[in-house]
Amino acid sequence: MRVIASTDEARRFSDEARRAGKIVGFVPTMGFLHEGHLSLVRASRRECGTTIVSIFVNPAQFAPDEDFDDYPRNFERDAKLLEAEGVDAIFAPKREEFYAEGFQTYVTVEDITRPLEGASRPTHFRGVTTVVAMLFNATRPDRAYFGGKDAQQAATISRMAADLKTGVDIVVMPIVRESDGLAMSSRNTYLSPEERNDALAISRALREAKAEIEAGERDAGNILARMRETIERSERANVDYVAAVERETFESVDTFRAGGRYYLLVACRVGKTRLIDNEPISIPG
């Protein structure tokens, strides 16, 4: 497994693989890998001849009051995990090289990024789309794999990849959960045992909401009110938002219609930790 720090070398590595007839798969991460990341790596390994994983904690997607400095990092552990998965290369650029002095160019996706995460974290998506575009330029992948937990991020990146004619196929993989339902996240390490227990209300609320919709409930307002109630029964959980949106556009909906494809979404602070989770919903036509 190669460990690459320079953008030029990443390009050469990818170009050589493609010249050898391989499909290049790419998994962008901020490191501190868990089973959710490894599910993306495994999908890339199944579908592509070469897999590159980036590890880069991207300063541009954190607001000044967010957890950039505290974000968990452990490169050696990550490298061991990736080697064991048979990854071909890690791309781990240095911050000073990647965001060189004088950097002032940003990629902005408009409508999808306005509500929800975009409203709570106004500079977040611009940081994500910018770094993902830069990572695509460095690793020149044919396919890139993203986790379904960050549903608005995945929809935003799919839009950007199509709009900018990147030629990269965006693959969004299902959320990986702990056995008790908690969606896997590098930020789960911040939770105390009591907070972790309270955080289970998030996935429980989503599960119950899905069951109610499957049983025939079509009023999004009723569903969201019950989700909020379920979560706020937990002492340490404070809901930032609960939402029901169209799957592709992220426009909010009042009613679930036959044939519709939606997300139920939650963002919630448990203690000081902000967690997000979602459940894709498909209504039979």
Q: Of the two residues 156 and 203, which places its CB atom closer to ligand PAF in the complex?
A: 156
Quick one: which of 40, 41, 89, 132 contacts ligand PAF (CB under 6 A)?
Answer: 132
Supply 24's token pair. Answer: 């290049």
Q: Does residue 128 touch ligand PAF according to CB under 6 A? A: yes
Does position 28 interact with ligand PAF (CB under 6 A)? The reply is yes
Instruction: Look up 37 and say whether it is catalytic.
Output: yes
Alpha-carbon distance of 242 to 240, in angstroms, equals 7
Q: Which residues contact 271 (CB under 8 A, 6 or more apart)?
A: 190, 191, 192, 195, 236
CA torsion through residues 199, 61, 242, 245, sign: negative
CB-nearer residue toward ligand PAF: 78 or 198: 78
List of residues 6+ apart from 264 with CB closer than 8 A: 206, 209, 210, 223, 224, 227, 242, 243, 244, 278, 279, 281
| 129/262 Cα distance (integer angstroms) | 23
Tokens coding 132: 């993902």
Stretch that binds ligand PAF, among 10-18, 92-100, 124-132, 163-171 (CB under 6 A): 124-132
Q: Long-range contacts of range 136-139, CB-CB < 8 Å, 24 or more positions apart?
A: 136/26, 136/161, 136/166, 136/168, 137/7, 138/7, 138/10, 138/11, 138/54, 138/91, 138/93, 139/10, 139/11, 139/14, 139/24, 139/26, 139/52, 139/54, 139/91
Q: Using the rule CB under 6 A, is 58 a contact of ligand PAF?
A: yes
Region near ligand PAF per CB under 6 A, out of 26-34, 81-89, 235-243, 258-266: 26-34
When asked if residue 30 is in the footprint of ligand PAF (CB under 6 A), the reply is: yes
CB of 250 to ligand PAF, least distance (A): 16
C-beta of 157 vs 227, nearer to ligand PAF? 157
Each residue 139-158 as x (binds ligand PAF by CB under 6 A) or -, in order, gives -----------x--x-----
**Beta carbon of residue 177, minimum distance to ligand PAF (angstroms, whole number):** 17
Active-site residue, from 14, 24, 36, 37:
37
Among 7, 14, 29, 278, binds ligand PAF (CB under 6 A): 29
Q: Residues 90, 131, 134, 182: which binds ligand PAF (CB under 6 A)?
A: 131
CB of 112 vs ligand PAF, minimal distance in Å: 15
Tokens 């409203």 identify what position? Answer: 119
Question: For residues 154 and 200, which CB has a smaller minimum distance to ligand PAF in the complex?
Answer: 154
Q: How far apart are CA 165 and CA 173, in angstroms?
A: 22
Q: Are the C-beta atoms of residues 89 and 13 closer than 8 Å to each other?
A: yes
Q: Which residues are catalytic?
A: 37
State the residues that interact with ligand PAF by CB under 6 A.
28-30, 58, 61, 128, 131-132, 150, 153
